[in-house]
Amino acid sequence: MKTYLLLLLISLFNFNNFAQLARIDANIKKLDNSQFVIIHGDKPMFEMKSGAALKLIKARKRAVPKLIKALEDSSKVIMAHLTLCHIYFNVATFAGPKQKTINDITTYYYFLGQQNGEGLIISEIKKKEGNILYIEPENLKTIISFWKKYVSEN
């Protein structure tokens, strides 16, 4: 009887872990950079419009391996980075913009990350149709390396 009870408890534990991993996968799939919105004003701020990111923050370190993988997806990198900042630092610092104009195209650069630490540089080009956010390849490599190293040490 004890053996059956033990097997039942182990099965329930494994099912719960499987279900939790499935929820994490589903929420990772819902992440999208469009859920990160820069509010332009005297002092730019941002909004995170993602229920999926909030659920991943609540999952804490169980979500981290999938978030590290999501950093490699150009459509998810900003939200994955922001979610990791909230998991490890409870906050994300936002600063900027600095701007650079080349060939009549002005690019605005914002910092999103840990205060006095490593961060993601979000580039923005303002167009009539809407603003375009993107990450430079060098910065993407830097932030992926940072998170892999940081997570392995913490």
Per-residue pLDDT of 90-111, as tens digits, reads: 989 999 999 999 888 899 999 9
CA-angle at 83, arms to 137 and 23, nearest 5°: 115
pLDDT value at residue 51: 92
Which pLDDT score is estimated for 118?
Answer: 79
Summarize pLDDT for 106-117 with one digit per residue, the tens. Answer: 999 999 998 677
Residues 49-73 have a mean pLDDT of: 94
Residue 123 has pLDDT above 50, yes or no: yes
Q: In what order do the strands lie in the sheet with 93-102?
A: 93-102, 105-113, 119-125, 132-135
The model carries a pTM of 0.83
Place of tokens 């701007």: 99
User: What proportion of the chain, given as a percentage, has pLDDT over 90?
Assistant: 61
